[in-house]
Amino acid sequence: MNYFRDDLKYKKPTKITVPDKKIKMGLNESSLDPFEIVKENFLKNMESVKLNRYFNKITATLRNQFSEYAQVDPECLIFGNGADEMLYYVFTAVRNDNDSYAVSLAPSYFDYKSYSNAVGLGIKFLSLNADFDFSAEEYLKLCDDKNCKLAILCNPNNPTGNLLDENKILEIVNNSDRLVLIDETYFEFSGKTFADKIDRYKNLVIIRSFSKSFSAAGLRFGYIISHADNINELKKVMTIFNLNLMTQTMISTMLDNKEIFLEHNQNIIKNREVVFQKLAEINGISVHPSATNFLTFTAGSKTRVLLTFLADNDIAVRPVWHHPVLHDHVRVTISDEYSNTYFLKYVKKFMTGGSK
């Protein structure tokens, strides 16, 4: 007897395979602990939040704070447990039947496929060119089908790190009657957003996260920016009280202290440029420019051995070689000066024969 959806028997649970090492540079996490920064204010704010109740005024406070931060009306926002949950809700809301599908570029965020499959939504991919660019015309062709329900564009793109061509994004938004989801998880590092265009383009949905730019990967907070009509439809597939009051209070407290986190992001950007230059100077390493908090690079045919060497020296980076465009590539998160220096030391040691 099968108690679950028939197609689940052919699917596998989503897993993270990055090893847990002393130097954590594999999951684009921050080296900054937000709790240590806002602990005193957070605990004070929690005094007025009763966890034995469903409702609290912190929800309205948070919505108003985000309205100011994102520069959109409060009714154009919804919150959830990380950008991943927000993706899950969007995929659930657009799926019409077993023939429904989304379109994404590839390589892009790994779990577009995981979560679309989880809700029974198909997904088709258009491969990026070798320079990480793409044809808007070919992308629109994939979308030109009654069963296409969603177009996904990750900007900046993960794991390549580059910003997509703004004109091509607008061409897709303008020429598709599908919902267009722009994943702006790395917005605070790129400075590029389409949030100011949601009134002009009703088919635009933007997803962001606090995991990267606000150093809160373990807190699990994400949000959607879109036209109020779209927000209302998405609420119909969301669970009620989906975001706990403690998380809401912590996020509100962090927004009260947002300058600290935004300054940290600027330091990460500076560190990224330093690491980029130093990686580029190592003979045999090719590294790509990035508008995120990570760099994607390759050591050619030595990359897989390099990954093992780094892990053996307590450094975790992430392989991203599962698509031909990034053959033999890995991704490293930009971290604090100590971790960056430690990482560079062992990459250089490996590439100069020190691993023997």
Q: Tens place of pLDDT for every residue, the chain, 356 residues?
A: 789 988 888 888 888 778 889 999 999 999 999 999 999 999 999 999 999 999 999 999 999 999 999 999 999 999 999 999 999 999 999 999 999 999 999 999 999 999 999 999 999 999 999 999 999 999 999 999 999 999 999 999 999 999 999 999 999 999 999 999 999 999 999 999 999 999 999 999 999 999 999 999 999 999 999 999 999 999 999 999 999 999 999 999 999 999 999 999 999 999 999 999 999 999 999 999 999 999 999 999 999 999 999 999 999 999 999 999 999 999 999 999 999 999 999 999 999 987 55
| CATH value of 38-256 in 3.30.450.20, 3.40.50.720, 3.40.640.10, 3.40.50.10490 | 3.40.640.10
Which residue type occupies 313? N
d(CA 322, CA 76) in angstroms, rounded, equals 36
Question: Under 8 Å CB-to-CB from 341, ≥6 apart: which residues?
Answer: none
Question: Under 8 Å CB-to-CB from 291, ≥6 apart: which residues?
Answer: 156, 161, 162, 163, 186, 189, 190, 192
Enter the DSSP assignment of 198. Answer: T
pLDDT at 356: 52
Residue with tokens 């450094």: 315
Question: Under 8 Å CB-to-CB from 4, ≥6 apart: which residues?
Answer: none
pTM here is 0.96
d(CA 71, CA 128) in angstroms, rounded, equals 32
pLDDT at 355: 59
pLDDT at 336: 97
Cβ proximity of 210 and 186 under 8 Å:
no
Q: pLDDT, tens digit, for every residue of 21-57?
A: 999 999 999 999 999 999 999 999 999 999 999 999 9
Question: Under 8 Å CB-to-CB from 53, ≥6 apart: which residues?
Answer: 245
Residue 318 CB neighbours (<10 A): 22
Residue 241 CB neighbours (<10 A): 10
d(CA 73, CA 289) in angstroms, rounded, equals 34
Residue 44 Cα distances to 249, 260, 280, angstroms: 10, 19, 47
Same fold, 6-32+259-351 and 38-256: no
Domain residue spans of the chain: 6-32+259-351, 38-256
Residue whose C-alpha is closest to residue 292's, from 181, 167, 188: 188
d(CA 292, CA 158) in angstroms, rounded, equals 8
Cβ proximity of 203 and 192 under 8 Å:
no
pLDDT at 139: 98
Structure tokens at 140: 């629109």
Question: Under 8 Å CB-to-CB from 257, ≥6 apart: which residues?
Answer: 37, 38, 41
Q: Which superfamily does CATH assign the domain made up of 6-32+259-351 to?
A: Aspartate Aminotransferase, domain 1 (3.90.1150.10)
What sign does the dihedral 277-279-282-285 (CA atoms) show? negative
Which residue type occupies 323? H
